[in-house]
Structure 1
């Protein structure tokens, strides 16, 4: 089942997708066109990101395949929903999307074994790990400044129950900019799969309900500019769309921060 959170008729609501329409928990049914604001489809707890978790992405950056998962924390203040703007920050020279399968944890666990890892998964959503490449170097590791700006964490539009994905280790990802296919990959090419990631992360960190693991992006990143429209697709999960807006004024940047708080 697909789940969503949104603002309509002046209030925050949640619901499920039934026959292409949104049935709110109140029982009222809405067309998607009636939604005023899409929120992240659930309220995340902590978010753990993966860098260089596809071999072809490491190759395109000229970096070696990591000997163990390379982690960073994605701040919750970066979260926005489907169709919310992403703001291009002042001084950036290379900003790009990263289409990622996001894994949502369903219950608390520590020292989880790989063979039991999927018992701790609740479902999945699409996440865009927006990054300013300027700030990814030895001085800015881990890449907090590169990936932590307000609006740099679009998620959605839906949260999908794990039972609805036939084989999460073999699903396609596609990224479009202004209708042009820029990125394509498959989760079968993850260097560290979901089970391995859960085992590794939980070996030193308690995983809790609604924690999110951003599993990394495949080859195909490219520069986006103010005015660009980014559409990320993952099989079974739908399509996450966001427009890039110019955030290089204090007034617009402040609006981006407020937008991020609203969507979190």
Structure 2
């Protein structure tokens, strides 16, 4: 099952994708065409979002860092940074080194505290796709991205939906791809993560209690490509979703 959050008749609601993803079924049974929906980020208000830096060896090498990390490099993201599928993201006038980063997002389904890695995936409700744009001019510390890089309004497209965890039996065997105006700029696999989804859930649950709706952005593979206003960026993960975003002038 795929669950999406949309804006409909003056309020935001959760809906279920049906009929080959072409129809959205609202809680009252009303059906609307998916193409007519105004997509919102499939994020639970108030939930925590954890993001990973340098979690793919090929991307680390691309940036000039050692390929292996002893512990996860984690930073937090605020709710205002998210924008839904087919939404607009402002590119600052001086953001000439702004590039997309396709990421698998793990969504927590039940409270998790001190969870062993071999049980960690049982605590997930599903997965979605994020494009966690980076702006290199604003980066003060590669190891701990600052707010101007990773918490700007509408600079993290996410969605279109959350697909049930049961429909993704192995989160470490998924292809990831990013295109800019149809040109492939990222082409990788979640199998290349340094720290797996299960290990990330286990690690974070040892630091704090993870709650339903919390999200973990798990990092991005290589492929730095600077974008411009007017570009259409598509982030796609096998069996999870295809996320479209449009860059506009800030």
TM-score of the aligned structures, taking structure 1 as reference length: 0.89
Q: Which moved more, 1:156-165 or 1:131-140?
A: 131-140
8 Å contact kept, 1:8–1:34: no
Aligned residue for 1:194? 197
Aligned residue for 1:47? 49
1:1-264 pair list within 5 angstroms: 1-20=1-20, 21-35=23-37, 37-43=38-44, 45-65=47-67, 66-138=69-141, 141-247=144-250
Alpha-carbon distance between aligned partners in 1 of 2:111 and 2:13, rounded to the nearest angstrom: 26
Structure 2: segments with no counterpart, 5+ residues:
none
8 Å contact kept, 1:232–1:239: yes
8 Å contact kept, 2:96–2:227: no
- Richer in helix (by share): 1
Alpha-carbon distance between aligned partners in 1 of 2:196 and 2:143, rounded to the nearest angstrom: 26
TM-superposed CA distance for 1:8, in Å, is: 3.0
1:28–1:141 CA distance, 2 compared to 1 (3 A): same
TM-score of the aligned structures, taking structure 2 as reference length: 0.94
Alpha-carbon distance between aligned partners in 2 of 1:199 and 1:143, rounded to the nearest angstrom: 25
TM-superposed CA distance for 1:40, in Å, is: 1.2
Alpha-carbon distance between aligned partners in 2 of 1:140 and 1:238, rounded to the nearest angstrom: 29
Alpha-carbon distance between aligned partners in 1 of 2:167 and 2:13, rounded to the nearest angstrom: 23
8 Å contact kept, 1:4–1:42: no
Aligned residue for 1:252? none
Secondary structure of the residue aligned to 2:71 is coil
Aligned length: 246
TM-superposed CA distance for 1:140, in Å, is: 8.7
Structure 1: segments with no counterpart, 5+ residues:
248-264
Alpha-carbon distance between aligned partners in 2 of 1:22 and 1:152, rounded to the nearest angstrom: 26
Alpha-carbon distance between aligned partners in 2 of 1:142 and 1:233, rounded to the nearest angstrom: 24
